Amino acid sequence: MPTAHEVFQLHRLQKFEPLLKGVRGTYLFEIERVGYWFISVRDGAISIEEVRRDADCTIGCDEADFIDIIEGRRNLITASMQGRVKIRGDITLAQKFHGLVSAMIESKKREAA
């Protein structure tokens, strides 16, 4: 299983994701005892920085849940309902995170191919 560092490192080089076209906003991922990642999405253009910064939407969870969500084994909405993920700020953006997850999974599949 990858680590959160590896996941973000993998996607740091990606500059554009068509699945996120129409999404504009910033996310801060707070991965417990691991670190903070700030992601800016502007109509499909993505930038990822390992830094703690105010964002439109903050998503906090432990590393195992984060990886489960990223790899599609756990649903963000139900994870949030279970108390595994804490979402603050713009929840609409968090819901768009589904798209981000799909994008990451698709990207991973493309790389593997």
Interface residue list for other proteins (CB under 8 A): 22, 75, 77-78, 81-84, 91-92, 95, 98-99, 102
Q: How far is the CB of 30 from other proteins (least distance, A)?
A: 15
* CB-based contacts of 13, cutoff 8 Å, min separation 6: none
**98 vs 108, beta carbon nearer other proteins:** 98
In the complex, the smallest distance separating the C-beta of residue 95 from other proteins, rounded to whole angstroms, is: 6
Smallest gap from Cβ 23 to other proteins, in A, equals: 12
**In whole angstroms, what is the distance from residue 76 CA to residue 54 CA?**
21
Q: How far is the CB of 99 from other proteins (least distance, A)?
A: 7
Placement of tokens 């590393």 in the chain: 63
CA distance 13 to 89: 27
Contact 44, 18 (CB under 8 A): yes
Closest CB to other proteins among 5 and 32? 32
Q: Which is nearer to other proteins, 12 or 64 (CB)?
A: 64
Hey, what amino acid is at 42? R
